[in-house]
Amino acid sequence: QKEVEQNSGPLSVPEGAIASLNCTYSDRGSQSFFWYRQYSGKSPELIMFIYSNGDKEDGRFTAQLNKASQYVSLLIRDSQPSDSATYLCAVTSGGSNYKLTFGKGTLLTVNP
Amino acid sequence: DTAVSQTPKYLVTQMGNDKSIKCEQNLGHDTMYWYKQDSKKFLKIMFSYNNKELIINETVPNRFSPKSPDKAHLNLHINSLELGDSAVYFCASSQSAGGREFFGPGTRLTVL
């Protein structure tokens, strides 16, 4: 069973701080990694994707991938109250690498 | 203008009934998906179609039957609804299988 593990939280950070969200996955063959943000009562929204080892930055968001450790993380710099949401890690799995397996999500709360 | 749309947004029905949910995407994507998100917010893939061909069929009761009349549409029919079917059902699409997925607004199904 291919798994994606996330700390369910809640993770609480003060406004302006760095929020660090972590994810581990079990399928060594996974090639694509995604972070989705889901506000309460809304649909998941893609915020970052990463395919290669290392860091990828987009505005206040940085995704980090370490395939050897089977670990992917999301850093949110200068956290804002509007960043308060559940963050879902998703990893392609399955032999053909086209099925997304989601983690259970980490609830982030940014306190003003 | 909506990229991925679903109808209805809410569906309340009695046990044993049959119901359908419709999904349409205007992004020109080749691949469409159905996900189920349960009360614990766990998002799990059910089905995926690529160019009208079924490519992912997870362990889902055969009371659930997807249909893709064309690349832009993917419908989900559910027979003999059970209490445990209550969840939010999300449709999603991607340019190709395994690519970045864009989600519809969701259909909240409540079975009484």
Q: Picking from A88-97, B62-71, B89-98, B99-108, which range would have the lowest pLDDT averaged per residue? A: A88-97
Quickly count helices (H) and strands (E) in chain B.
0, 11
Pairing relation of β-strands A19-25 and A71-76? Answer: antiparallel
- Model pLDDT, residue A20: 96
Distance from C-alpha of B61 to C-alpha of B36, rounded to nearest angstrom:
13
Q: Which candidate in A43, A92, A99, A108 is best for mutational testing of the B interface (most B CBs within 10 A)?
A: A43
Distance from C-alpha of A58 to C-alpha of A60, rounded to nearest angstrom:
6
What is the Cα B97 distance to its own chain's centre?
Answer: 16
Element (H, E) at B53: strand B53-57
- Model pLDDT, residue B59: 80
SS3 A56: strand
Report chain A residues whose CB lies below 8 A from the CB of B104. Answer: 43
User: Which residue in this structure is represented by tokens 């559940």?
Assistant: A86
Distance from C-alpha of A41 to C-alpha of A56, rounded to nearest angstrom:
29
Greatest extent of chain B over all pairs of C-alpha atoms, in Å: 37
Q: What is the pLDDT of residues B43-93, one digit of tens each?
A: 999 999 998 889 888 888 999 999 999 999 999 999 999 999 999 999 999
Q: Which candidate in A97, A98, A101, A104 is best for mutational testing of the B interface (most B CBs within 10 A)?
A: A98
Pairing relation of β-strands A11-14 and A106-111? Answer: parallel
Instruction: Judge whether residue B107 has pLDDT over 80.
Output: yes
**Nearest Cβ partner of A49 from B48, B100, B102?**
B100
Cβ atoms of residues B32 and B25 within 8 Å: yes
Q: What is the pLDDT of residues A4-51, one digit of tens each?
A: 999 878 999 999 999 999 999 998 888 899 999 999 999 999 999 999
What single-letter DSSP state applies at residue B95?
Answer: S
How close B1 gets to chain A, by Cα (Å)? 17
Inter-chain residue contact A86 with B41, CB threshold 8 Å = yes
Instruction: Judge whether residue A84 has pLDDT over 90.
Output: yes
Instruction: Judge whether residue A94 has pLDDT over 80.
Output: no
Give every CB contact of residue B105 below 8 A, 6+ residues apart in sequence.
Answer: A42, A43, B2, B4, B5, B6, B9
What single-letter DSSP state applies at residue A27?
Answer: -
Q: What residues pair up with B37 in beta bridges, in sequence order?
A: B43, B88
